[in-house]
Amino acid sequence: MDKNQALKLVRPHLNQTRYEHTERVMQTALQLAKIYHVDQHEVMIAAIFHDYAKYRPLEEMAQIIKDHGLPSDLLDFHHELWHGPVGSILVETELGIDNQAIKEAIFWHTTGHSQMTKLEKIIYLADYIEPGRSFPGINLIRKKAQESLDEACFMAVKNSISFLLSRERLIYPATLNMYNHLKRKMEELN
């Protein structure tokens, strides 16, 4: 599947703002893929389809989580976390994308997890730092993304956790595991 085919397939599932976000995530992810020597085609497909399930009805997503053996604890957390895992199922069942690495990158792009692959980190980070995003500290993370994928992901997950804590929201365990794993890596570097 080429870029134009993929964009045409994802377009009906996104509103205009989310489609433009998707294009920016794709461009950002492809830039990161060049820096970190990750397969351009896998990055492109994962980036284009990372929000494929974003606007599915909550009832449908909850049912897919139950029916496909996805982690049931997802249902105990904010529904914003559901579209990654659900999207990883739907890109296969609806579009025939069965590349496990691509599906995992889509699955984990909202929560992260410990010991992420480079592809997973690129999609996670590109979604976080794409040029349409604006919040305190993002330019530092964008700059770090050009130098160290792990350090940039650590900065992003740390910011995300701080944001959730400031709003007294629940934090998905895989996100905490990502933070802890990357924190240990950062300590080993220093």
Domains contained in the chain, number: 1
Question: How high is the pLDDT of residue 189?
Answer: 78
- What is the value of pTM for the model shown? 0.96
- Sequence-distant contacts of 99-105: CB under 8 A, at least 24 apart: 99/42, 99/45, 101/42, 101/46, 102/42, 102/45, 102/46, 102/49, 105/42, 105/46, 105/50
Q: Which domain holds residue 122?
A: 3-189
- Rounded (5°) CA angle 178-25-4: 135
- For the record, the structure tokens of 47 come out as 């980036």
The enclosing domain of 157 has a CATH number of 1.10.3210.10
Stretches where the chain sits below pLDDT 50 are: none
Question: How high is the pLDDT of residue 72?
Answer: 92
Question: How high is the pLDDT of residue 149?
Answer: 97
DSSP code, position 42: H
Q: How far apart are CA 33 and CA 27, in angstroms?
A: 10
